[in-house]
Amino acid sequence: MHWQRPSNLDHWHGATPDTAMTRPVPAVTRNGPGVVWEEKATDGPCRGGARKPVEERTMDTNTRLSKKQQAMIPIAAFTASGDLEKLKPAMHEGLDAGLTVNEIKEIPTHLYAYAGFPRALNGLGAFMTVLDERRAGGITDEIGRDAAPLPTGTSSLELGEEVQTKIVGRPVAGPLYDFAPAMDRFLKSHLFGELFGRDVLDYQDREIATLSALSNMDGVEPQLKAHFGLSLNVGLTEGQIRELLSILGAKVDRQKGLNAEEAFREVLQEKGDNRKGDNEVKTLIVFFSHSGNTRRFARVIQEMTGGDIAEIQPVEPYPGDYDAVVRQAKRELGAGFKPPIRTLGEDIGRYGTVFLGSPNWWSTIAPPLQAFLSGYDLSGKTIIPFITHGGGGAGRSFAEIAALCPNSTVLEGLAVFGGPGRDNRDEASAWLARFGIVP
Ligand SMILES: Cc1cc2nc3c(=O)[nH]c(=O)nc-3n(C[C@H](O)[C@H](O)[C@H](O)COP(=O)(O)O)c2cc1C
């Protein structure tokens, strides 16, 4: 495949629709079929230690699972059910789809916490056979990198507690854990500390494996439902979860797929009912996202604030092709063009606080957010802006928002790096705490 980056573009620092870039820092790297923005360059030495896993994402498939993620589903499901004769071909397909040997090994490893050592060990044994078969057939598979060591200076219990709280969205406690404190410790230190701390798979991949496994096991519906919630918390979209379930139905077991779909429907319904009963909702998160980073971060804000959320959708969607959208954005910003957007379902008048989110496009907010600000009256409201970017920070975005909301109180905005697999929760909670929105 061919590596692409925006024409004439080395780095987004200081980009404008009409000025050329200056710093020759490679700001985008190819990772699978999509474009991944590198971290903002610093002058300091590179940090060592654990690396965050970087997953494949493409510009136009943010609501689709990647090929590798799709291939994980039957591997996890058959590992959990112990169906080794179906597991082996699924593992072959996984390697063919680009999963590394270490990534596939990590699936049964992770799943031992859900399906037990016997199923996990049998799965790993089956994988050894698969690798032998492929070697005999002259196929050399990519081993991939191993897990980076866990951070030093923190116990796996502390680490696990932190990760569990993040993923669940609140500290986990309750009568069951009071009754069996050893289980609480094992869950935290081992599952959320040691296993989730292994960066061979990221949290989304781990949740994909877990949903696939639990969907193919009997008697674990409460856990399956809980993991639908966790999967949304780590940034999988409803569309991706539905895709997972339909792959499960098609490739693993039709009835199990249908049962899991029903459980997911109930989870979404429960979420909706809770929201309907809450007349006190005063916060709205309005955002535009092209490739999903801003959407993911908007959801983190939603989860932390309990607000409502609304996505700005241009009537004419932007092209998925990267260079094409970069060119179109440049043209639109240069011309001050505000694309027609779909009417928002929410009654803006109900809300006192409105978070406004956009990707940084050419150092400012994307035209659909400009269109929203021109079309809706936010007078008297408190506005809190947020931006996701590819290394250039907020650019002029906050000033632009302030200029477009002259009769609103615009609070301090937050710009976060919008790389794949990131949810920027720590930055979000520190920022929201400044306004007293979260403790
Ligand atoms: C048309 C376009 C222009 C962009 N311009 C910039 C820029 O000037 N500075 C920057 O740091 N990142 C820039 N980026 C990268 C995006 O800001 C970044 O990937 C963002 O997280 C994408 O958010 P989204 O997934 O919600 O669309 C640009 C991306 C696109 C598609």
Any idea where the domains of the chain sit in the sequence?
Answer: 67-148+199-274, 279-434
Summary mean pLDDT of the chain? 84
Ligand 1 center–CA 360 separation, angstroms:
5
Say yes or no: CB of residue 329 within 6 Å of ligand 1.
Answer: yes
Residue 126: pLDDT band (50, 70, 90) is very high
Contacts of 128 (CB under 8 A, 6+ apart): none
Poorest-pLDDT segment among 43-52, 158-167, 235-244, 371-380: 43-52
More confidently predicted of 239 and 13 = 239
Q: Give 62 or 244, the one with higher predicted confidence.
A: 244
- Interval 255-281 mean pLDDT: 76
Give the model's confidence band at 438: pLDDT under 50 very low, under 70 low, under 90 confident, else very high: low
Question: By alpha-carbon position, which residue is closest to atom 27 of ligand 1?
Answer: 290
Is the per-residue pLDDT at 248 higher than 80? yes
Q: Is residue 292 in contact with ligand 1, taking CB distance under 6 Å?
A: yes
User: Could you tell me the distance, in angstroms and rounded to a whole number, from the CA of residue 39 to the centre of ligand 1?
Assistant: 13
CB count within 10 Å of CB 350 equals 11
- Residue 342 φ/ψ, nearest 5 degrees: -70, 150
**H-state helical runs in 137-291:** 156-168, 175-179, 181-185, 203-215, 221-233, 238-251, 254-276
DSSP count for the chain of H helices, then E strands: 16, 9
Q: Is 58 in the pocket of ligand 1 (CB under 6 A)?
A: no
Question: Which class is 67-148+199-274 in CATH?
Answer: mainly alpha
Q: Which residues contact 254 (CB under 8 A, 6 or more apart)?
A: none
Nearest residue (by CA) to ligand 1, atom 22, is 359
Could you tell me the distance, in angstroms and rounded to a whole number, from the CA of residue 96 to the centre of ligand 1? 32
CA of 361 to the centre of ligand 1 (A): 5
Whether the per-residue pLDDT at 55 is higher than 80: the answer is no
Rounded distance between C-alpha atoms, residue 300 and residue 284, angstroms: 13
Least Cα distance to 324 among 21, 1, 60, 14 occurs for 60
| Lowest-pLDDT range of 7-16, 27-36, 113-122, 407-416 | 27-36
What lies within 8 Å, CB to CB, of 285 at 6+ separation is 298, 301, 302, 305, 307, 308, 309, 310, 354, 355, 357
**Is residue 377 very low, low, confident or very high in pLDDT (cuts 50, 70, 90)?**
confident
Q: Is residue 426's pLDDT more than 70?
A: yes
Q: Which residue has the CA at smallest separation from atom 12 of ligand 1?
A: 390
Model confidence at 336: pLDDT above 50: yes
**What's the CA-to-centroid distance between 68 and ligand 1, angstroms?**
25
- Measure 291 CA to ligand 1 centroid, in angstroms: 9
Phi, psi of 226, rounded to the nearest 5 degrees: -60, -40
Q: Is the pLDDT higher at 23 or at 139?
A: 139
**Given this model, what pLDDT does residue 64 score?**
83
Q: Is the model's pLDDT at 19 over the cut of 70?
A: no
Quote the CA–CA distance of 433 and 435 in Å, as a whole number.
5
CA of 100 to the centre of ligand 1 (A): 29
Spatial distance between the Cα atoms of 292 and 78, rounded to a whole number of angstroms: 30
Q: Considering the domain 279-434, what is its CATH architecture?
A: 3-Layer(aba) Sandwich (3.40)
Evaluate: CB of 391 within 6 angstroms of ligand 1: yes
CA 389 to ligand 1 centroid distance, Å: 5
- Among 231, 296, 292, 304, smallest CA distance to 263 is for 231
> 416 phi and psi, to 5 degrees?
-125, 150
For the Cβ of 74 lying below 6 angstroms from any atom of ligand 1, the answer is no
Q: pTM of the prediction?
A: 0.51
Residue 119 pLDDT: 98
Q: What is the pLDDT of residues 282-299, one digit of tens each?
A: 889 999 999 999 999 999
**In the predicted model, is pLDDT for residue 28 greater than 60?**
no
Ligand 1 close to Cβ of residue 325 (< 6 A): yes
381 phi/psi in degrees, rounded to 5: -95, 160
- Cβ–ligand 1 distance for 13 under 6 Å, the answer no
92-107 residue pLDDT tens: 999 999 999 999 999 9
Of 361, 398, 414, the residue with max ligand 1 atoms within 8 A of its CB, to mutate for a pocket test, comes to 361
